[in-house]
Amino acid sequence: MKQPRAWQRMLSGRRLDLLDPTPVDIEIDDIAHGLAFVARWNGQTMGDYAYSVAEHSLLVEALFARLCPQAGAAERLTALLHDAPEYVIGDMISPVKAAVGPGYSELDTRLTAAIHIRFGLPAVTPKGLKTRIKKADRISAWMEATSVAGFSEAEANRFFGKPDPALLEGLSITLRPPVEVRRDFTARHAALLALT
């Protein structure tokens, strides 16, 4: 019996095997393009453009830098790439991930390892770093929930925790065309990679 196809052709021309991804098939342009077109919140956000995973990733990296001002470029790059596998497996809200089961998590883990190795990061994010990035991720989720996803502050506080207002100073949620977000994500990746 013929096995089902497990690879996806990327715009770069690479064939990424989703079940056994290799670092040589990972390209930042593919990641940036995919993430710029993947909508957070299942697309249920206000505005003329979807709030993309690429935009979210830029915000998480900025929040992480505020939470961890002594973090090095490699740690900040890890924060920027924290949702990178979603460029091919999509973004699912937590209730859907729970319903899908461990299969989604296994795909995410394999893709994360290949992406990290491609850009000179540890295949597995150290637990302490992962916890700090998750804190920035939750603050970002609170900002998104209250700015574009229709949550009240009380509801967002209940689900994501109330962030320190000082951490949010000068930051805002921006809805932009995918081409702009893709460009900024790629530029931020290049800047951090050059410092690692």
* Domains (range + CATH), the chain: 23-194 (1.10.3210.10)
- Output the pLDDT for position 194: 97
**For the chain, where are the alpha helices, taking DSSP H only?**
28-37, 53-67, 73-80, 86-89, 94-100, 102-118, 127-147, 153-160, 165-168, 178-195
Looking up tokens 């979603």 gives: 86
pTM comes to 0.95
Nearest to 147 by CA among 165, 173, 177: 173
Per-residue pLDDT tens over the stretch 118-162 = 999 999 999 999 999 999 999 999 999 999 999 999 999 999 999
State the residue for tokens 């302490």: 128
